[in-house]
Amino acid sequence: MQKIGTQDEWITRAREVLPAGGFGNFDPGIIIAQGQGSRVWDEDGIEYVDYLIGSGPMLLGHGHPEVMEAVLQQLPKGMTFFANNTKGIELAEAICAAVPCCEQVRFVASGGEADMYAIRLARAFTGRDKILKFEGGYHGMSAEAQMSLAPERQVNFPQAVPDSAGIPQGVADQMVIAPFNDLEAVASLMDEHPDIAAIIVEPLQRIIPAVPGFLEGLRALCDKHGVLLIFDEIVTGFRLAYGGAQERYGVVPDICTLGKIIGGGFPLAALGASAEIMQHFDKGRVGADKWLMQLGTLSGNPVASAAGLKTMEVLRRDGAYDRLRALGRRLQDMQSNALSKAGIAHQICGDLTLFDIFFTDQACVDYRSAKHQSPERNVIYNNVLRRNGVFKSPGKMYPSLALVDEDLSLTEAAVSRAVTALLQS
């Protein structure tokens, strides 16, 4: 690969043309040049074991040969049509066969779009306006989703705090904010707000697991009040299990959103529900007043659909999820054992397929409790991991099926150095 600039040169160029020098997603101080399997390389040629995996979609790793072949077979046939195509239809069939709540799906290009339409669909179906979401829950970049995502100041529930400029007060007035994992608080709020259309929830909120009975309780409360339950499965879909969190936890929502893995690394997402709910996308069935308009230039893109179909086929093979969980267990154990041996307070939070560490001795059950008692320890820990060849978000570690023993050995050595750095800090 011919070099056309150092990483520092690219960073300088980025600062000229990109606000804050980046795409808004990740640390702009690193420029990734390529990925293959479980590894990525930056523009200076430094190699890393990749636990970011594109923020989740590359569950099979980078450049999986079967996914690449499926894409290469589709490319000569056309890259996009703004019309129905066979790959998109096949992908919709595969999703509906896998995900319990989905009888029909609609495709969009991003998870944020899917969540936005899911909220709008719930309002169209119920005729109500308010949405209950959980403090700290991430549902994309819509105005509703940017309410109490990461509030820097604590307010009394159910007040919504906007996390972005440019959002009208009227949006906040339609949002009811609750603490995650507090079923009693949700029940009280639903009694106080009979105009709630839906509860939207990540069944694994970022990396915070639902306590036993919480998701089941949400389902029961929604049934009692005639409210729709939306599972945001952009992250958990096809990761926690082939059927997502719905399969893993045995709780079926009314609507779910999917993304990341179903596009095989390409821009694609979807929302799905029963045919009765999804009929609001069909003007001929519900009429103009109840019709939900939805379109997108790249919705159902055939290249992304081909990649997603092949990814899902690989995940259906025997042992795929057992291996993913075994990898997650090894990664959790190597870190917890090293930290415990050093006497460093910590909690590993999440699922074996997606997790990270909080440097605290307190249980992490919601946005306000899932905090580092020593934030500087998290900075030191992740910086040392990066310097020793481990590429990850400061708040998540995504295992992938591309990992091999060599990757785990490198990671364990990096963890040892990071723990030593904490002891010396």
CA-CA-CA-CA torsion sign (8, 13, 14, 16):
positive
Please give the Cα distance from 49 to 42 (Å, whole number). Answer: 12
Cα separations in angstroms, 93 against 22, 104, 106, 230, 272: 37, 8, 11, 21, 11
Taking residue 225's Cβ as centre, other Cβ atoms within 10 Å add up to 14
Assess whether 138 carries a catalytic annotation: yes
Assess whether 371 carries a catalytic annotation: no
Answer whether 240's CB lies under 8 Å from 351's CB. Answer: yes
* Residue 312, both tokens: 């899902």
Answer whether 179's CB lies under 8 Å from 368's CB. Answer: yes
Question: Which residue from 336, 379, 355 is spatially nearest to 205, judged by alpha carbons?
Answer: 355
* Residue 385, both tokens: 């991991």
Question: Which residue from 111, 110, 77, 106 is spatially nearest to 92, judged by alpha carbons?
Answer: 106
Question: Which residue from 198, 201, 200 is spatially nearest to 210, judged by alpha carbons?
Answer: 201
Please give the Cα distance from 267 to 101 (Å, whole number). Answer: 23
* Residue 283, both tokens: 């003007």
Assess whether 133 carries a catalytic annotation: no
Taking residue 16's Cβ as centre, other Cβ atoms within 10 Å add up to 7
Could you say which of 87, 130, 133, 260 is catalytic?
A: 260
* Residue 304, both tokens: 């992304």
In the block, which residue shows the tokens 């996009």? 80
Please give the Cα distance from 248 to 102 (Å, whole number). Answer: 16
| Cα first-last separation, the chain | 40
Cα separations in angstroms, 66 against 78, 309, 310, 313, 314: 19, 11, 7, 10, 9
Question: Which residue from 304, 286, 273 is spatially nearest to 110, judged by alpha carbons?
Answer: 304
DSSP 262: G
Could you say which of 48, 51, 138, 367 is catalytic?
A: 138
Could you say which of 115, 182, 232, 407 is catalytic?
A: 232
Answer whether 201's CB lies under 8 Å from 143's CB. Answer: no
* Rama region for 273: left / alpha / beta (φ>0; ψ in -120 to 50; rest): beta
Q: Which residues are catalytic?
A: 138, 232, 260
